[in-house]
Structure 1
Amino acid sequence: MILPGSPFVAYRGSELFIEGCSLHALARRHGSPLYVYSRSAMLASLASYQRALAGRRHLICYAMKANSTLAVLQTFAQAGCGFDIVSGGELERVLAAGGDPSKVVFSGVGKTRAEMRRALEAGVRCFNVESEPELELLSQVAVECGRTAQVSLRVNPDVDAGTHPYISTGLKGNKFGIAHQRAVVTYQRAAQLPGLAVAGIDCHIGSQITETGPYLDALDRVLDLVEAVEQSGIALHHLDLGGGLGITYTDETPPSAEALVRRLLARIDERGHGHREILFEPGRSLVGNAGVLVTEVLYLKPGEAKNFCIVDAAMNDLMRPAMYEAYMQIVACRQRDDTAALTWDVAGPVCESGDWLGRDRSLAVQPGDTLAVLSAGAYGMSMASNYNTRGRAAEVMVDGDQAWLIREREAANELFRLEKLLPSA
């Protein structure tokens, strides 16, 4: 069987391994549902960006909303990465994982005054400002703190990335960024405001992008703006080209990060901007194919209209199928030769009809078997919830034949530890 995505997840005989570790054995040791990540897969994905950027002034800022587990952040920090954050909580995670705040860019449309103050105190590299009112507030906070905020305006180029509407960010109908036609005047305002220093320009057009065309279109529009802004007398020192590169979930064929970045750098050079520092904010493309979600088969429910394979992982553990109707491949951790394959809907225990991980999947399974949901390293654990008072899954990081428990499974009493009963009557 050919599996999508990472070569670090593969069968050895009938047993599925991630690097040198059996996924079935890890589930038996740590319980399920269980997220398991390949450290080597993450670093291999990062290396694709690094090869293309070698010899250039650059910074790769991992978009940690994809997976914010501390050991994942630690892995990228130790590899020299910065971080793209979208909340004060994400900043605290970066600091807890040993990340360098001077390599942090702070994105997001709804930064609060408190978040701005904390980021200034921590010494983040740059704020990617997404609206004119945010620019005004950041100036006020910076003056109050006695700090200078480096700013990069996130511009909305009105480019269709061809992705799911929930993850499209570069169209004029999206909430993100400053409208292309307002960019020059907004830069002029930024240059006048106290407490701010203009540093660069930022653009991010969406997620799970599988073609180079939208990137090149957006880049051309950004470079047009760079030239217009600098003609008005404002210097821009860096180009932040965002992230959004897709991965293979089933039959997608996105370009490699190395191929995409080389195409973008060639266009930048052609237009005379090769002297600028380049920033990228990859997320899914670094971690997506590095992770799997392992789940145990609880019950089989054959029926007239549908056959249901009920597993112990649910929509609270993995939201992507329910939220986006996303297809994620599901395979057995141990292939059977004593059971005929049938077509199953793989569903969880949560009390929602939308609680499914995969529909119409051909599987040879019995209760007690373990299944692996592939390509689950991005937007899996980071979007998990406690719906139905379900503890979030444990997480394991694998490197070769070593495996470390990097997050313990949540216990029920931990879920309501901060709640209070009303006084007795």
Structure 2
Amino acid sequence: MLDCPSSPAEQDPTVADLLAARPHLSMHALDGLTLEDVPLNAIADAVGTPTWVMGAGTLRARYRLLDGAMRGAGLAPSIHFAVKANDHLAVLRILAAEGAGADVVSGGELRRARAAGVPAGRIVFSGVGKTREEMALALAEGIGHIAVESAEELDILSDVAASSGWVAPITLRVNPDVDAGTHEKITTGLSTNKFGIAYARAAALYERSASLPGLKPLGFSVHIGSQIVAMAPYRAAFARVADLVRAVRARGLPVSLVDCGGGLGITYRDEVEGAPEALAGAIRAELGDLDVRLAIEPGRWLAGSAGLLLSRVILRKAGEDGLPSFLILDAAMNDLMRPSLYEAWHGILPVSARDATRPVEAVNVVGPVCESADSFADGRFLPRLDEGARVALLDTGAYGAVMSSTYNGRPLAAQVLVDGGRWSVIRERQPVESLWAADRIPDWVMPAPAGG
């Protein structure tokens, strides 16, 4: 059966619930779990596990839904994919072909976006700690605008631009002191967060920016956090920005752009996914009468549900004194960091159709890394899974592979792209020897003595 019995975890979605909420996934009696039209067992047989899998068709469909919702509300914002969510060149190129630009937060992300074919004019540069070298790179490339996050950064950018004869198109990123109602580690719009310029200082700083050499102020940016599913925080933030635009224009200064940021949330467990139509409505209600160009910076909403992490059970370890058994996977926190970093919940599905119909039990799903934080789920009710069983950790297309590390000497997992019924490896599994290929041992470090 696919339904969980009565239990403290009975509100968690079942196998059937998880599949029903994800139309890009299906369970076939013979092929097992399928992403778009590709059986995941075929990928695991050929590539092994752990392996990241992204659905190109799903990614395109998500972009078109978001773009259509904006256009349906009479808006035409430029859409800049947040590269920090997933920086693979194939992902960036797929979205660029749909018309997306890129939101970058480092020189490395800027170079990646350009390597993927994103036009420089469709790139915006955010982030609290841009170096002079990164600023110079952005200006030399001719990107759309730089979101300035402090008075100190404003002065540095003016110096970098003026000293090289450039004019930097900028927005000021405003911190509206609005609680996004999300996890404390992914909220960015409170006065206690490191991001943005204090709201009370923004108008004066905008006026000052207009007098500094090498700068061309365009307007304001705002971003209040990630995994936001309610519209009230957005409306509060956008209303404050609208008031700021009117105040600055009252001083005789032009404002031509408002960048609304990103952060729209998805369904991981039982959240109601943030609706693009609702976001479009919030933007239109608060900013629609300002006669400005608009921009948005989605990341998670576009890529999150399009990806999963394939893994297999290394072994079952019996729990003590009637406690749940441990399912130890070959994926770990170095692969998918979100559960250990944010206490994030990810759905877990058996890849085998036969496994999916087995009786459920409470288990702790963990990885092999030598940290107690290396856990994906505690007391999760899943169909019984034995050694060798394959599983898919869902909704990992954003903040999954991009946050991976090689902790515990574990090579980076392979990456695969699915597109309808075809698939291809888009990043080979990292050879273990590459983990120390760049290490250099000084000649004054003596070799270990021979023998035991």
Map of 1:3 onto structure 2: 18
SS at match of 2:163: helix
Map of 2:292 onto structure 1: 276
* 1:357-394 alpha-carbon deviations (Å, 9 max, x no partner): 12212232111110000111110011111111111111
Map of 1:24 onto structure 2: 41
1:376 aligns with 2:396: yes
* 1:136-183 alpha-carbon deviations (Å, 9 max, x no partner): 000000012211100000000000000000000000010000000000
CA drift at 1:196: 0.3
1:322 aligns with 2:344: no
- Equivalents in 2 of 1:13, 1:276: separation in Å? 53
CA drift at 1:265: 1.4
- Equivalents in 2 of 1:419, 1:198: separation in Å? 45
Cα RMSD after superposing both structures: 1.4
Which deviates the most, 356-365 or 142-151? 356-365
- Equivalents in 2 of 1:292, 1:197: separation in Å? 42
Unaligned runs of 5+ in 2: 1-15, 447-452
- Equivalents in 2 of 1:188, 1:301: separation in Å? 64
Map of 2:13 onto structure 1: none
CA drift at 1:12: 2.3
In the superposition, relative to structure 1, how do residues 261 and 345 fare at CA in structure 2: closer, same or farther (>3 Å)?
Answer: same
1:201 aligns with 2:220: yes
Which residue, out of 62, 72, 80, partners 2:91? 72
**Residues 113 and 138 of structure 1 are in contact (CA less than 8 Å); yes or no, is this contact kept in structure 2?**
yes
Which residue, out of 367, 372, 376, partners 1:353? 372
Which residue, out of 350, 354, 358, partners 1:336? 354
Q: How does 1:121-140 map to 2 (within 5 A)?
A: 121-140=140-159
Map of 1:312 onto structure 2: 330
- Equivalents in 1 of 2:141, 2:89: separation in Å? 18
- Equivalents in 2 of 1:339, 1:225: separation in Å? 58
1:165 aligns with 2:184: yes
Letter in 1 for 2:130: K
CA drift at 1:297: 0.7
TM-score normalised by the chain length of structure 2: 0.91
CA drift at 1:339: 5.1
Map of 2:196 onto structure 1: 177
Map of 1:391 onto structure 2: 411
* 1:183-241 alpha-carbon deviations (Å, 9 max, x no partner): 01110111011000011210000000010111011110000000011111211111100
Which residue, out of 16, 30, 50, partners 2:67? 50
Which residue, out of 167, 171, 178, partners 1:152? 171
CA drift at 1:254: 2.8
* 1:215-274 alpha-carbon deviations (Å, 9 max, x no partner): 0111100000000111112111111000000000010003321332133213323xx21x
* 1:106-133 alpha-carbon deviations (Å, 9 max, x no partner): 0000000111111111111100000000
CA drift at 1:340: 4.0
Which residue, out of 35, 42, 63, partners 2:52? 35
Q: How does 1:228-239 map to 2 (within 5 A)?
A: 228-239=247-258
CA drift at 1:19: 0.3
Which deviates the most, 56-65 or 287-296? 56-65
* 1:11-68 alpha-carbon deviations (Å, 9 max, x no partner): 2237111000111221111111011111111111111221133364421000110111
**Residues 228 and 274 of structure 2 are in contact (CA less than 8 Å); yes or no, is this contact kept in structure 1?**
no
- Equivalents in 1 of 2:213, 2:84: separation in Å? 31
SS at match of 1:313: coil
Letter in 1 for 2:18: L
Which deviates the most, 136-145 or 329-338? 329-338
- Equivalents in 1 of 2:137, 2:36: separation in Å? 39
- Equivalents in 2 of 1:41, 1:382: separation in Å? 19
Map of 2:427 onto structure 1: 407
- Equivalents in 1 of 2:115, 2:250: separation in Å? 42
Letter in 2 for 1:316: N
**Residues 66 and 284 of structure 1 are in contact (CA less than 8 Å); yes or no, is this contact kept in structure 2?**
yes
Which residue, out of 268, 288, 301, partners 2:304? 288
1:187 aligns with 2:206: yes
Map of 1:13 onto structure 2: 29
SS at match of 2:241: helix
**Residues 391 and 410 of structure 1 are in contact (CA less than 8 Å); yes or no, is this contact kept in structure 2?**
yes
Q: Which structure: larger Rg?
A: 2
SS at match of 1:358: strand
- Equivalents in 1 of 2:90, 2:26: separation in Å? 23
Map of 1:303 onto structure 2: 319
1:118 aligns with 2:137: yes
- Equivalents in 2 of 1:382, 1:154: separation in Å? 25
**Residues 63 and 282 of structure 1 are in contact (CA less than 8 Å); yes or no, is this contact kept in structure 2?**
yes
- Equivalents in 2 of 1:51, 1:303: separation in Å? 50
1:92 aligns with 2:108: no
Letter in 1 for 2:232: G
CA drift at 1:310: 0.6
**Residues 67 and 287 of structure 1 are in contact (CA less than 8 Å); yes or no, is this contact kept in structure 2?**
yes
Which deviates the most, 240-249 or 341-350? 341-350
SS at match of 1:372: strand
SS at match of 1:373: strand
Map of 2:279 onto structure 1: 260
1:249 aligns with 2:265: no
